[in-house]
Chains A and B, each alone.
Chain A
Amino acid sequence: QKEVEQNSGPLSVPEGAIASLNCTYSDRGSQSFFWYRQYSGKSPELIMFIYSNGDKEDGRFTAQLNKASQYVSLLIRDSQPSDSATYLCAVNRDNYGQNFVFGPGTRLSVLP
């Protein structure tokens, strides 16, 4: 079982819809969770992070964490074509540098 799993996609949603991206992780002791966005040919950029169970909202983005079920999700409301990118989930398992693990990413396509 991979440590951090994501559906590779592509996930296609119409403009204005809600895009839902999911991530599961295997280490129950994981402490912090990050969502990065990566445009084609560019470097990953942080969207948001979450440490505690529940929801965290930032503008059109909401991160949801459920440690009991070992999943973290990212909701994008009012999706725009500019949101079309690959979204990477990252999990920090503890306080050691090698335990910051990225998932393979989900490619999102927002159709005008």
Chain B
Amino acid sequence: NAGVTQTPKFQVLKTGQSMTLQCAQDMNHNSMYWYRQDPGMGLRLIYYSASEGTTDKGEVPNGYNVSRLNKREFSLRLESAAPSQTSVYFCASSVAVQETQYFGPGTRLLVL
């Protein structure tokens, strides 16, 4: 039982490049989330998926897209990376949106 897994662990991009961050959970959770964490800013919600087949914007969705591929997988795509997207990205999942969230190990992204 791996919980929430994320790939890659670390990535360096040049401005304008695109990439997809992958997230998968094996806890049979319905809801999944993408956050970014910046120094002094705490965790900020980018997008979430309350259940398979639905996605909704969070606090900071600009510059990102998501796909809920199936119940297990929720990916985050940066179409044209910008230095302002340098951050640590966490994926999380929960049984339902009001329940405890469990986090993956994070992806450290550096955009030059």
Residues of A within 8 A of B (CB): 8, 31-32, 34, 42-46, 49, 88, 90, 92, 94-98, 100, 102-105
In the complex the two chains form, is B42's CB within 8 Å of A103's CB? yes
In the complex the two chains form, is B56's CB within 8 Å of A97's CB? yes
Closest 7 CB pairs of A and B: A97-B48, A97-B97, A104-B42, A43-B103, A102-B43, A95-B98, A102-B42
CA distance A93 to B48 in the complex (A): 16
In the complex the two chains form, is A88's CB within 8 Å of B98's CB? no
Contact of B105 among A42, A94, A102 (CB under 8 A): A42
Task: Give the number of A-B contacts (CB < 8 Å).
Answer: 58
CA distance A90 to B102 in the complex (A): 13
In the complex the two chains form, is B50's CB within 8 Å of A46's CB? no
Answer whether residue B40 sits at the interface, using C-beta atoms and an 8 A cutoff: yes
In the complex the two chains form, is A43's CB within 8 Å of B97's CB? no
In the complex the two chains form, is B100's CB within 8 Å of A98's CB? no
CB distance from A72 to the nearest CB of B (A): 15
In the complex the two chains form, is A34's CB within 8 Å of B100's CB? yes
CB distance from B9 to the nearest CB of A (A): 11
Q: Which has the most chain A C-beta neighbours within 10 Å: B101, B104, B105?
A: B101
Q: Which residues of B contact A32 (CB under 8 A)?
A: 98
In the complex the two chains form, is B105's CB within 8 Å of A46's CB? no
Write the chain B residue with the least CB distance to A44: B103
In the complex the two chains form, is B57's CB within 8 Å of A98's CB? yes
Q: Which residues of A contact B57 (CB under 8 A)?
A: 98
Contact of A98 among B43, B48, B104 (CB under 8 A): B48
CB distance from B64 to the nearest CB of A (A): 14
CB distance from A97 to the nearest CB of B (A): 4
Known A-B contacts A97-B50, A98-B45, A98-B48; A45 and B103 likewise in contact (beta carbons under 8 Å)? yes
Q: Which residues of A contact B50 (CB under 8 A)?
A: 96-97
CA distance A46 to B103 in the complex (A): 9
Q: Mark B6-35, 1 if CB is under 8 A from A, else 0.
A: 000000000000000000000000010101
